[in-house]
A and B are shown apart, each in its own frame.
Chain A
């Protein structure tokens, strides 16, 4: 009895601490498959390209994770990406496109993301609107503002911006510095009081309230953090596409939710990791490139992509069971 219960407890504790393990295994498997069908895809250049393209989704998946921690959801993250993308491109163009204008655009972009997050947080936590519907509504609202800021897609971002994003420093591509900085940031965020409070709220909001936690403030802070990370995602999108597009982020929203779930975070709140969401985003990226590398006809690509994400979700559950037995 002792051995059985303690090994089961040990497993649960491992999974509770590292819920992203299945995602990591799937990620490695996908990397191997990509390498098998297209050896160049796992080369230094190939990985750099993958990270450059999917850094935005990684950021957005992280953004989504913080609200999901608290049992909430944010369906406006994609619209925030669009709004920040348009805002910074317009700001940089107005200010002349030099380094100073890039830095001020980044500052303004973060403020816009934060403001969007606060609007969502107040709507959901303070006014107690349903998170799914409220953030769906704000997503339409944010898209509307983005269309006002930049009515037509295609305004180019200044070269200083995208050259930096796509460039190299000391022979190392910029995205690796970005990933390193992100790693340090996440490492710090995991240790914050806010992260633990968000998880406690997601576990059971009423119990967290009875424990004396300021539940409403915590949920609003969660949405604010989500807004900030959505702004970071917008910077990556802008660096990658080198232009402004008021509809660029829309389709990314549900990908971010999928990445969170693939990463082992519970949509019901209370348990999960941000690193899992990063893996989830990479899984989606690798699936998309794999579908291309195996030579799927273009009209079948969506079909196969969808199927592959379902398989990855299922594999995650099977891996979890596999570890248990």
Chain B
């Protein structure tokens, strides 16, 4: 008997069918992986189970009894706890307050029992003892934390529900290896306790490490469910993309073609750059070169990219772009000098929430070309090649950006920079939380742009992506570059070793 079973559930938003026919059956004591490309309906399926989306049709049963989940509160009462991909944290509240927020401990019927709150939160914080990173504490304000730390808080909050059914919608997208390992230890323990868990991830290695069964969903329909032990990565990818097996896991991406880096002048050169959170950074990016930033999360990679872009303080050092010194006080100056920056945190740094796709595509165009008045038709014409280059799927330019899946949103954000070509593209973990086919599109584009002579700096939290796409990898550790990997040194082993050794 299944613990949780969703049968033929569907959900449409206007004309767009987010989920056409979702079937999912989760047993007690298993980690059930849900996989599919972005926009395939996984998140919608999870949100239906979590109560934050109401299905148009279909049935949900828990312990073989049909239930109606009318909201997240209802879901909690039915024993379902959910980790939301976009997180459900209050930025101004502390870590411990967020962990206990759904069910605040009360005394005298009216007041928050701070002691009980701290004690309960401490229990879940302790689970991640040692991997939470610098600046993390029970009293820390969530808005001050790094993305990976916020993700850990959301995990703690989900665990604190102590619900028999737990849904994790991409809980590991920002976590580093040690954090993921700890999380998997916890999941293994919960499995032994007989909890039923749904787990979404785009990292194949994770899926095959922790999963018991996998359900593949494609274009809003469940394709099937297989035992992990009886399938292979290639088979799963085949089901996802709807083609028979083809050997195209992320590990199998070909080495990046060494574009003819005409050993000429550097497009971007950085010397002795220091500031809050990073120090003494130096590197050069030549035309057609992809320089990779590697290492564990939050070792200063993001900060350096932001500092170059004028969005993070620089204390000392120099940046030279196209032979001229650059000291951008704000992103506006950096953009007008030909820099582009794409953040992996699209919700915070990328999209204009609730606004049409065309408005999300054109702000840089307005800025670079100093457009004052524009005809909609001309804007659409300018934007079309950029979105097409990325195979972006969308209904029309007028639809709000939120109607797109995460991967397609990110494609729009990247396309925004391609209408007027920059000289150097700074990519700050751009594939965080987007699916394999969108990643493939993105990296194909990066390769093309490099071949056309752009300089690219790529920070990725996915080592395999980094190895497959960067010509040279600078490994960050404690805010410094501890190792530069080139040529034959560019191996997984060296990358791990440099990332994990004490700074």
Contact = CB atoms under 8 A, between A and B. Distances in A.
Chain B associates with chain A: yes
Interface of A: 1-2, 4-6, 8-9, 12-13, 16, 188, 191-193, 196-197, 199-200, 203-204, 207-214, 270-271
Given A5-B135, A9-B140, A210-B50, A203 B90 contact: yes
A213 B101 contact: yes
A12 B72 contact: no
A207 B135 contact: no
A192 to B, nearest CB: 5
Interface in B99-119: 101-104, 106, 110-112, 114
Interface residues of B, number: 39
A6 B135 contact: yes
B122 interface: no
13 contacts: A1-B279, A1-B479, A5-B135, A12-B144, A16-B92, A193-B110, A193-B111, A196-B93, A199-B90, A208-B88, A208-B90, A211-B102, A212-B71
Given A9-B135, A191-B112, A203 B73 contact: no
Interface string B33-61: 00000000000000000101000000000
B216 interface: no
Given A193-B104, A200-B93, A210 B111 contact: no
Given A5-B135, A210-B72, 5 more contacts: A12-B144, A193-B104, A210-B50, A211-B101, A212-B76
Contacts of B84: 207, 210
A325 to B, nearest CB: 12
Top-8 shortest CB links A-B? A203-B90, A271-B92, A210-B88, A207-B88, A212-B102, A200-B90, A212-B72, A270-B92
Contacts of A199: 90, 92-93
B454 interface: no
Interface string B135-147: 1000111001000
A208 to B, nearest CB: 7
Contact of A270 (B71, B87, B90, B479): B90
Contacts of B170: none
Contact of B144 (A2, A9, A191, A211): A9
Nearest to A13: B141
B257 interface: no
A193 B88 CA distance: 18
A210 B86 CA distance: 11
A100 to B, nearest CB: 30
A192 B112 contact: yes
Contacts of B157: 211
Contact of A207 (B87, B110, B478): B87
B276 interface: yes
Nearest to B89: A207
B134 interface: yes
Contacts of A207: 84, 87-90
Contacts of B112: 191-193, 196
Most A CB within 10 A of own CB, among B88, B140, B276, B278:
B88
B433 to A, nearest CB: 17
A192 B90 contact: no
B126 interface: no
Contacts of B92: 16, 199, 203, 270-271
A271 B278 CA distance: 30
Contacts of A12: 141, 144
Contact of B82 (A9, A203, A210): A210
B166 interface: no
Contacts of B67: none
B75 interface: yes
A13 B102 CA distance: 23
A214 B140 CA distance: 25
A204 B279 CA distance: 35
A233 to B, nearest CB: 23
Contacts of B90: 199-200, 203-204, 207-208, 270
Contacts of B139: 13
A9 B72 CA distance: 33
Contacts of A5: 134-135, 276-277
Contacts of A2: 134
Contacts of B76: 212
Contacts of A212: 71-73, 75-76, 102-103
B97 interface: yes
B52 A210 contact: yes
Nearest to B97: A196
B127 interface: no
Nearest to B86: A207
Contacts of A200: 90, 93, 101
A13 B145 CA distance: 12
Interface string B143-157: 010000000000001
Nearest to B107: A191
Give the interface centre of B84, B104, B106 by most chain A CB atoms within 10 Å.
Answer: B104
Contacts of A16: 92, 141
A209 to B, nearest CB: 6
B444 interface: no
Contacts of A1: 276-279, 478-479
A193 B362 CA distance: 44
Contacts of A213: 73, 101-102
A214 B73 contact: yes
Contacts of A210: 50, 52, 72, 82, 84, 88
Contacts of B140: 9, 13
A299 B64 CA distance: 78
Contacts of B389: none
B91 interface: yes
Nearest to A8: B276
A213 B98 CA distance: 12
